[in-house]
Chains A and B, each alone.
Chain A
Amino acid sequence: MTTLVADPAEAAPAPRAAGRGRLVLTRLLAARGAVAGAVLVLLLFVLAFGGPYLTPWDYATPDFTALHQPPSAQHWFGTNGIGQDVFAQVVRGLQKSLVIGLLVALFSTVLASLVGACAGYFGGWADRALMFVVDLLLVFPSFLIITIVSPRLKSTGWIAFVLLLAVFNWMITARVVRSMTISLREREFVRAARFMGVRPLRIISRHILPNVASFLIIDATIAVGGAVMSETALSYFGFGVKPPDVSLGTLLAAGTSEAPVFPWLFYFPAGLLVLFVLAVNLIGDGLRDALDPTAGGGRPRRNSRRKKP
């Protein structure tokens, strides 16, 4: 034990095996990047959901006395060409982008874990059929399909857009879950459950999925960032969230052409977008180190390098 802990003083209060949750938390708090990311995400959430109460302006109502005004005490992030308050718009757009990102990550992770676990656990033709679908969707340019189908979904609004993004976002995760399941399937506790007559779906939910949970948590975190990026990109080109609804993508689309002259229209949404995805990625990276000590960048290698004269 003492050889494993870098600082003996640290180990003193908890000499015997601390719970895994506590271990993960300690490691996570030690990673400064992850802590900074978590604080940033929290702040952005507060901004997105508390922001509308901070400003008297509404995201849609124009103020005709202030057109194209730079940031000021009245309009914190300035106003656009028809006098709408950019702060109110950005906050509203951030809110929509965050909700879309979270929902897409949730749906796609659930789908990926179910498909991957079933393919890996059942094997045989079920595996082959599911993996063919995975390969097909990977070959198939999902972006093209979203752009083709999205004009038809105008009436159903952004929830359909969320589902569409999720449907094309789960394949690689499913592949990893599948290969993890294949090796878990032969482990003693899974075999014991099988021989005791536990039904397959129950084995998957009680024994397989909890054992791939740490991978799924990391993957879902990173998927939030990816989903927000896809959402903004598609909305930028008019294939995602559509006006009068506001997301960071539609704001960027509106601000691009005016960026050289009225930079606040472009750089505020752009900055918040990068900041949010960056924060999410930092959390994901910290989680990876905390949940999976064997992943790249671990401590032992640093020591082995040091041993070299």
Chain B
Amino acid sequence: MLRYLAKRLSYYAVLLIAAVFLAYAISATALQPRTYFEAKVPRPAAESVERQLTDLNLNDHTPVAVRFGHWAGGLLHGDLGRTIHDTPVTDDFGRRVWVSLRLLLIGSLLGMVLGVAAGAWSAVRQYRISDRLLTLLSFVLLSTPVFLVALFLKNGAIAAKDAAGHEVVPFTGYETPGLTGGLGAHLSDWALHLLLPTMSLALHGLATYSRYQRGIMLDVLGSDYLRTAEAKGLTRGRALLKHGLRTAVIPMSTMFAYSFLGIFTGAVFTETIFGWHGMGEWLIQSINEQDVNSVVAVNLFTAVVVLVSGFLADTLHAALDPRVRS
């Protein structure tokens, strides 16, 4: 098993380096920090623009490979370069990464667990009312883009506020500014702010995973080994849990890994809509400001998270399926 995991890890390392280089090359050529400086009022002198660009490692007269080398050299020391406002990228990164991870982790885990549970439950109760309702719900959710789900939730919260006369569920930001009180007050405040953004992410995951899980579980339910397990004296519930669900989750582990990018993309929208100052909002903002180093930092973040989740999926796969280990 360790050898298998080591092999996957080295493949991911190569992928990571290639992906980051590609991201750097595309961002460095497509974005134009020069226009940002030249558009300043009063218009700075040509040499001053040139010097600032060179200082920030953004000068488009330097070959991309050289700029990448410089940036990668800094990365080895934990330095992600400087933003276009001449502040360290790592400052922004450190502040925003926790905001985003909170949303991403809770949202995707919730979607995963609920999706697998709902799909398996629905397969066991195939063609009953509950199965049909869940199928209908997941079809509607699958047909609604995440940003639209988020907007519906936000509009609902605004309507509730107008109806009740005060804010029922918060829909902007991730905490109440200037909140006083103990740890309990802060935690419940966080949880309330998390509610709507997490829901918009988790609902989509729930819909996607439950469809797949239902299909896979149905295949498993008809299998001989499940009948054998029951024949040997296991109760139906135990047989389903120990033999059915375990087999049915294996193909899902690969899906989890590949779905992360979709979740991140969804998070970019939810963050922007609910006013969270996370990685997604940073991305949109830095693209509009032609801030190459910040854009690359977001790229690096997503690539690392995708590969980490890919590696976790491989580990899960190997743990559940003994054939993979050999």
Residues on A facing B (Cβ under 8 Å): 132, 135-136, 138-145, 147-149, 151-152, 172, 225, 229-230, 232-233, 236-237, 252, 256, 259-260, 266, 270, 273-274, 277-278, 280-282, 285, 295-297, 300-302, 304-305
Contacts of B295 in A (CB 8 A): 144, 148
Asked if B145 and A233 sit within 8 Å, CB to CB, the answer is yes
Given A140-B23, A142-B261, A260-B162, also A147-B148 (CB < 8 A): no
Q: B299 and A135: CB pair below 8 A? A: no
For residue B264, CB closer than 8 A to chain A, the reply is yes
Of the candidates B22, B145, B151, the one whose C-beta lies within 8 Å of that of A140 is B22
Quick check: is B215 within 8 A (CB to CB) of the other chain? yes
Given the known A-B contacts A138-B261, A144-B302, are A281 and B272 also in contact in the complex, defined by CB atoms under 8 Å?
Answer: no
List residues of B (144-203) whose CB comes within 8 Å of A's CBs: 144-148, 151-152, 155, 158-159, 162
A212 to B246, CA, bound (A): 30
What residues of A have a CB within 8 angstroms of the CB of B162 in the complex? Answer: 260
- Are B30 and A148 touching (Cβ within 8 A)? yes
Residue of A with least CB distance to B286: A148
* CA of A132 to CA of B287, assembled, Å: 28
Contact A296 B214 (CB under 8 A): yes
Asked whether A273 lies within 8 Å of B148 as measured between CB atoms, the reply is: yes
A131 nearest CB across to chain B (Å):
11
Q: Closest residue of chain A to B18, judged by CB?
A: A136
**Nearest CB on B from A278, distance (A):** 4
* Chain A residues with CB below 8 A from B134, complex form: none
Q: Give how many A-B residue pairs fall within 8 Å (CB-CB).
A: 129
Q: What is the CA–CA distance of A282 and B146 in the complex, to the nearest angstrom? A: 19
19 pairs, A vs B, C-beta closer than 8 Å: A139-B15, A139-B307, A143-B261, A144-B295, A148-B287, A151-B30, A232-B147, A232-B148, A233-B147, A252-B148, A260-B155, A273-B144, A280-B143, A281-B143, A282-B139, A297-B214, A301-B218, A302-B127, A305-B222
B84 close to chain A: CB less than 8 A: no
Q: Quick check: B15 and A149 within 8 Å, CB to CB? A: no
The 3 A-B pairs at the shortest CB distance, nearest first, are namely: A296-B215, A277-B143, A278-B143
How many B residues touch the partner, as a band? 35 or more
Q: Does B16 contact A (CB under 8 A)?
A: yes
Q: Which residues from chain B contact A297 at a C-beta distance below 8 Å?
A: 126, 214-215, 218
Flag if B22 contacts A141 (CB, 8 Å): no
Rounded to whole angstroms, the CA-CA distance of A302 and B162 in the bound complex is: 49
> Is B101 an interface residue, CB under 8 A from the partner?
no
Chain A residues within 8 Å of B264, by CB: 141, 143
* Option from B152, B216, B261, B269 in Cβ contact (under 8 Å) with A237: B269
Residues of B within 8 A of A229 (CB): 145
Give the chain A neighbours of B139 by CB distance below 8 A: 278, 281-282, 285
CA distance A163 to B27 in the complex (A): 19
Whether a CB of chain A sits under 8 angstroms from the CB of B89 is no
Q: Contacts A144-B299, A172-B258 given: A277-B222 contact, CB under 8 Å? A: no
